[in-house]
Structure 1
């Protein structure tokens, strides 16, 4: 079993020549075998959390720690975190002309294997074909340049395909449901559910209950004001869908203004 822990994390970002505090003492612990979901109003720091865990340099960690299997990873570069088993499916994946999907995924798979033991080509292609079929993607997608000319739905499926091939210990899925129709949402959810098991954990960052209808989380966390203010089971997400965030904020006695409230 592997663990990922965020301890009392304070994170800021440069905004108009000023340091803007975004995360304000966030705590989270998860283990492989678990699916966690984070929900919260706009502007509360959900995407900041995902980017900080993966080591995005534009975010400044003021204090706190991020531990992978008990070891701090604050000084680790992005590629070291990825090799150690962390994976981020981004909201807006970058387009990389000149590098095909298959080339990119094969390099990523080999990066997690011993240097003298690359994945055999036949084994790689067989698994790639199977994974593409699972996600209703064609082999033609494997030969296209990474995300170039892809629709929003194709990019999201492609992120899940990479996750399934790389087999990380922990996947952070940042609004993987954004912009997907029902059919595409079902396909993406299928890929995540096939990964569930003792050697895999996921952190789903989402605004909507509908994703959690297809990927049932073990834990749901609510973020407000840059930290987690409440944790529950899957029923908490359904409550938020029905009641919204303002009622929970008032119930908890929090002095937090929600971004989408009238001034």
Structure 2
């Protein structure tokens, strides 16, 4: 991959869920360190894109291509995609009973480090990093030793997703309505973490309809998904237009050509 090649390249991606085609033809380029906001009406396929890239078995890729750093994601299992540096958050993070939170994240981190030829992080150093990150994110330290998300409030579940993001430091993160359920301090934590990771080269695709958050994220591009395709691409003005008028009929037909690539953000 040359410096000018986008980190993520999606070409003509079609995804079926059951008998329904949700994504018809998605073309998308995302550069390292850039941030793309994805908007669209309910059922337009925003979450489907993330689940398909992650390899969820219920989301069947019928055709197309998705490359991360030049590696074909679609030919890899879910855990191999994660080891390539892909992170996808959940709208509603599930419980993982019986698995301690700190062990869960450390195991994921060391699997990723192993794939990159790095030595594993020992428990002492990991716990120090986890405590520091949890404090910055407003997540009680006591939750590190509890089963993943078990008994967590909605906001704590989202902050726990942020904790995983902070410690794993992925190459590409798709955040699906990460602000949902968060209070003002939680939203500030999102903004600070995204800004920090972008400076280190992490690229983001953020699904959100919260205009204030979108404006503060300062995205490189705003995309509107409609009828399984990228129908519009633009900047903050597109997000503001959607906030004003909603997702009613548009004059612009869904595009099946590649959207404008998000530009690279220099560290």
How high is the TM-score relative to the length of structure 2? 0.88
Match of 2:17 in 1: 13
Structure 1 range deviating more: 172-181 or 115-124: 115-124
1:131 to 126, 130, 133: 133
Shift of 1:192: 1.9
What do residues 111-136 of structure 1 show as CA deviations (whole Å, max 9, x unaligned)? 11137721033321221121111101
Q: Which runs of 5+ in 2 are unaligned?
A: 255-267
Match of 1:197 in 2: 199
Match of 1:96 in 2: 96
What do residues 4-59 of structure 1 show as CA deviations (whole Å, max 9, x unaligned)? 11100111111xxxx11110111111011101110011110110111001011111
Contact 1:173 1:202 in 2 (8 A): yes
How high is the TM-score relative to the length of structure 1? 0.89
Match of 2:244 in 1: 242
Give the direction of change, closer, same or farther, for the CA distance of 1:198–1:129 in structure 2 (3 Å limit): closer
What do residues 151-208 of structure 1 show as CA deviations (whole Å, max 9, x unaligned)? 1110001001101100100001011112323332222322222212252101101122
Residue 210 (str. 1) matches residue 212 (str. 2):
yes
Match of 2:86 in 1: 86
Equivalent runs, 1:161-180 vs 2, <5 Å: 161-180=163-182
RMSD between aligned alpha carbons? Answer: 1.6
Shift of 1:234: 2.1
Structure 1 range deviating more: 104-113 or 79-88: 104-113
Runs of 4+ in 1 over 4 A off after TM superposition: none
2:221 to 219, 225, 231: 219
Match of 2:264 in 1: none
Match of 1:259 in 2: none
Q: Which runs of 5+ in 1 are unaligned?
A: 255-263
Residue 76 (str. 1) matches residue 76 (str. 2):
yes
Q: Distance in 2 between matches of 1:253 and 1:31?
A: 25
Q: Distance in 1 between matches of 2:11 and 2:52?
A: 13
What do residues 81-129 of structure 1 show as CA deviations (whole Å, max 9, x unaligned)? 0001000111111101111111111111101113772103332122112
Contact 2:177 2:206 in 1 (8 A): yes
